[in-house]
Copies of this chain bind each other. A is one copy, B any other.
Amino acid sequence: MKDNPKKQIITQVAQNIFSRHGLLKTTVYEIAKAARMGKASLYHYFQSKEDIFKEVVEKENRFLKEKIREAIINEDTPQKKMKIYILKKMEYLRELANIHSALKDDYLEHYAFIEKIREKNSKEELFTIRETLQDGEDKGIFEINDIELTAFAIASALKGLEYPWSINISFPEIESNVDKLLEILFNGIVKR
């Protein structure tokens, strides 16, 4: 997808409608109407409904990455970089309805293309964590053996931050939970 204006309009209107109704409830007809064209014309620009949704998710992912890059750019320590990465990702995932849906909605998990999106996202996450660990090690801040396994363990732990605790269990504010978990991951609980 280059700079085709029609394609961008379709993507934009689709982004809005998908984010309100979700992938399944949004019809191709609705998107076409909102883009002021006939339904059949859409297929000149996109191969399928799935293609449109993929494009929308990729657009949101680019936005998310840019926002994270901006936030991290002036941080100097790997600890701060990791914290900002996690918090910004959580924050923007809440706003970006389509990528959130693609990554989190249970009813979408049997679609092969959704599985691919989730896989790509997980790989990017693991990569980012691994890079940050490497950076910290290079700077003599972190001391790590088996960096791959460490990246994986940390990624797993961070997934646990989204665990759906029962409503009757009083759980802390997400940010203090992130802070505390990162503090533990960085410094450990064994006396120094």
Residues of B with C-beta under 8 A to A133 = 189
- Chain B contacts of A168 at CB under 8 A? 119
Contacts A186-B188, A189-B150; A169 near B106 (Cβ below 8 A) = no
Question: Which range contains the number of A residues in contact with the other chain?
Answer: 35 or more
Contact with B along A150-186 (1 / 0, CB 8 A): 1011111111110101101101100011001100111
Quote the shortest CB–CB distance from A80 to chain B (angstroms).
Answer: 13
Q: How far is B79's CA from A32's CA once the two chains are assembled, in angstroms?
A: 60
Give bound CA distance, A154 to B80, whole Å.
20
Contact residues in B for A146 (Cβ distance below 8 Å): 180
Alpha-carbon distance A115/B169, docked complex (angstroms): 11
A142-B190, A157-B157, A185-B185 known; 17 other A-B pairs, CB under 8 Å? A119-B169, A122-B165, A126-B169, A133-B189, A141-B190, A149-B172, A149-B176, A154-B184, A156-B157, A156-B163, A156-B177, A158-B160, A159-B159, A186-B188, A187-B188, A187-B190, A188-B190
In the A-B complex, list the 4 residue pairs whose CB atoms are closest, starting with the nearest. A160-B160, A188-B188, A157-B157, A119-B166
Is B153 a contact partner of A181 (Cβ separation < 8 A)? yes
Does any Cβ of B come within 8 Å of A50's Cβ?
Answer: no
Interface check A123, CB cutoff 8 A: yes
Q: Which B residues lie within 8 Å of A126 (CB)? A: 169
By the criterion CB–CB under 8 Å, are B166 and A118 in contact?
yes
